[in-house]
Structure 1
Amino acid sequence: MFKDSKDNSDLLVLKNIESGYGHVKVLHNVSLRVKKGQIVTIVGANGVGKSTTIKTIMGLLKPNKGSIEFKNKDIGGLPAYKIVDLGIGYSPEGREIFGNLNVFENLRIGAYTVDKNDFPARLKEVYNLFPRLQERQNQEAGSLSGGEQQMLAIARALMQDPDLLILDEPSLGLAPIIAEEIFSRLEEINQKGTTILLIEQNVNLALQLSDHAYVMEKGRIVLDEKASLLAENNYVQKTYMGIA
């Protein structure tokens, strides 16, 4: 199910993106790139444009300016379903699972474009990654714990075997030990070849996990650096990591 290649070529490239809601401009000339095989994170406070960036990539918002390329194909303005079909999996903020359906049914929906002959193998891969979901496959998703719901949201996004997995605030509302477990699974997913773009407020965890990171403030990218170097940046430590 998962990829083995890691050739360091650009998988996703945003150039000078402007986007927003109606007449309200949120993103201002946002440029970033995600290389194949990496984990890349965008960090920043609430309301600075992180989720708007993801929604624009996913076709939920149309960019007013700039370009978005995925696997060297211009995807700016394409509808979301076509972007998913091209190989981008998306786990939104708030998880947005189907609470009245059981775990298995949620995963089946996530695999809506998967050939029925391939479905059992995909399901096995996901259950190996998240054994707790297999244990609860007949349980209503709405009755799962917050951590289990997040696992389900990630697993559902993985069912189509994406080249790029995008996650919006996967640790939101989770106890620290559960957040660490989720991040451990993300590392395993990446080691098996899936590229990850992560939106995260938990800067400590995000920078530990990531290869590269961007800091966003007021709809603009203000820092762009290797994650290990950003973790040592005095401004980042003081502003986002609580280190005086």
Structure 2
Amino acid sequence: MVKDSTNNQNLLTLKNIESGYGHVKVLHNVSLKVKKGQIVTIVGANGVGKSTTIKTILGLIKANAGEIKFKGETINGLETYEIVASGIGYSPEGREVFGNLNVYENLRIGAYTVDKKDFSERLEEVYKLFPRLKERKNQEASSLSGGEQQMLAIARALMQDPDLLILDEPSLGLAPIIAEEIFNRLAEINQMGTTILLIEQNVSLALQLSDHAYVMEKGKFVLDEKASVLAENDYVQKTYMGIA
């Protein structure tokens, strides 16, 4: 379903978020804004808190301080299923498809709150985005290639027609040409009106795709700028893009 993405309001905001695991604090005073219709990327090395940020947004980890708002409503404190039902789709790191189920069954699970009529419409839309999934709809997910499994993970997250799609490392483990194909589909999804929050280690590819980007180091955002500006930043180029 094509959405109206012309409104430039904040769809998601994090304000002074602190969270972590038990007594180990990972995020330190993290603030972020994702405007409706944007693609926003969080980049950074392994272990700096990128995935923790996503898990905190989704309620998989509870924030110790700060506020998370989605569509103007405070969501920290809600259960994960409530947060997802409010309009957030999630494609996790490592894809986590159900390997013993076929493609169609994986997509059906992604649409567990969708009625029959809407399910049929959503199914056709994701098949248009990812024709290979339609070709392999009766094939077990475990037998798909890495790129096809990533397509399935994204398609599954889209089955509920989310307002915000969150993706954690969608290019992980993929050949460059396949990663580029995945990112082309993400651009198409965004053009249809779905806002995207992306966690990605392929900084060059992510900045090409995105409107705005944050650089995270040691649980804090150290840079916050238009993606096109960060792509020209000497520190970003040297530290994250291998450009001397």
TM-score range, shorter chain: over 0.9
For structure 1, the 5+ residue unaligned runs are: none
Displacement of 1:116 in angstroms is: 1.0
Residue 81, structure 1, aligned to residue 81, structure 2: yes
State the SS of the aligned residue for 1:123.
helix
> Which amino acid in structure 2 is aligned with residue 2 of structure 1?
V
1:8 match: 8
Instruction: Please give the residue correspondences for 1:23-34 in structure 2 after superposition, counting only pairs within 5 Å.
Output: 23-34=23-34
1:182 match: 182
Instruction: Please give the residue correspondences for 1:145-160 in structure 2 after superposition, counting only pairs within 5 Å.
Output: 145-160=145-160
Residue 48, structure 1, aligned to residue 48, structure 2: yes
For residues 4 and 173 of structure 2, the distance between their equivalents in structure 1, rounded to whole angstroms, comes to: 32
Which runs of 4 or more aligned residues in structure 1 lie more than 2 Å from their structure 2 counterparts after TM superposition?
Answer: none
Instruction: Please give the residue correspondences for 1:229-240 in structure 2 after superposition, counting only pairs within 5 Å.
Output: 229-240=229-240
For residues 51 and 110 of structure 2, the distance between their equivalents in structure 1, rounded to whole angstroms, comes to: 21
For residues 111 and 3 of structure 1, the distance between their equivalents in structure 2, rounded to whole angstroms, comes to: 18
Displacement of 1:78 in angstroms is: 1.1
> Which amino acid in structure 1 is aligned with residue 164 of structure 2?
L
For residues 52 and 231 of structure 2, the distance between their equivalents in structure 1, rounded to whole angstroms, comes to: 24
For residues 178 and 205 of structure 2, the distance between their equivalents in structure 1, rounded to whole angstroms, comes to: 12
State the SS of the aligned residue for 2:116.
coil
2:120 match: 120
For residues 53 and 6 of structure 1, the distance between their equivalents in structure 2, rounded to whole angstroms, comes to: 27
For residues 6 and 27 of structure 1, the distance between their equivalents in structure 2, rounded to whole angstroms, comes to: 32
For residues 6 and 195 of structure 2, the distance between their equivalents in structure 1, rounded to whole angstroms, comes to: 9
For residues 63 and 5 of structure 1, the distance between their equivalents in structure 2, rounded to whole angstroms, comes to: 29
For residues 28 and 74 of structure 1, the distance between their equivalents in structure 2, rounded to whole angstroms, comes to: 19
Displacement of 1:3 in angstroms is: 1.0
2:101 match: 101
> Which amino acid in structure 2 is aligned with residue 227 of structure 1?
A
Displacement of 1:33 in angstroms is: 0.3
Quote the RMSD (CA, aligned, Å): 0.5
For residues 5 and 42 of structure 2, the distance between their equivalents in structure 1, rounded to whole angstroms, comes to: 24
For residues 85 and 6 of structure 1, the distance between their equivalents in structure 2, rounded to whole angstroms, comes to: 23
User: 1:164-194, CA deviations, whole angstroms, 9 ceiling, x for partnerless residues?
Assistant: 0000000000000000000000000000000
For residues 104 and 218 of structure 1, the distance between their equivalents in structure 2, rounded to whole angstroms, comes to: 40
TM-score (norm 2): 0.99
> Which amino acid in structure 2 is aligned with residue 146 of structure 1?
G
User: 1:84-120, CA deviations, whole angstroms, 9 ceiling, x for partnerless residues?
Assistant: 1000000000111100000000000000000112111
For residues 18 and 243 of structure 1, the distance between their equivalents in structure 2, rounded to whole angstroms, comes to: 33
For structure 2, the 5+ residue unaligned runs are: none
User: 1:59-81, CA deviations, whole angstroms, 9 ceiling, x for partnerless residues?
Assistant: 10000000000000000121110
> Which amino acid in structure 2 is aligned with residue 125 of structure 1?
E
For residues 151 and 191 of structure 1, the distance between their equivalents in structure 2, rounded to whole angstroms, comes to: 17
For residues 116 and 61 of structure 2, the distance between their equivalents in structure 1, rounded to whole angstroms, comes to: 32
Identity %: 84
User: 1:183-213, CA deviations, whole angstroms, 9 ceiling, x for partnerless residues?
Assistant: 0000000000000000000000000000000
State the SS of the aligned residue for 2:63.
coil
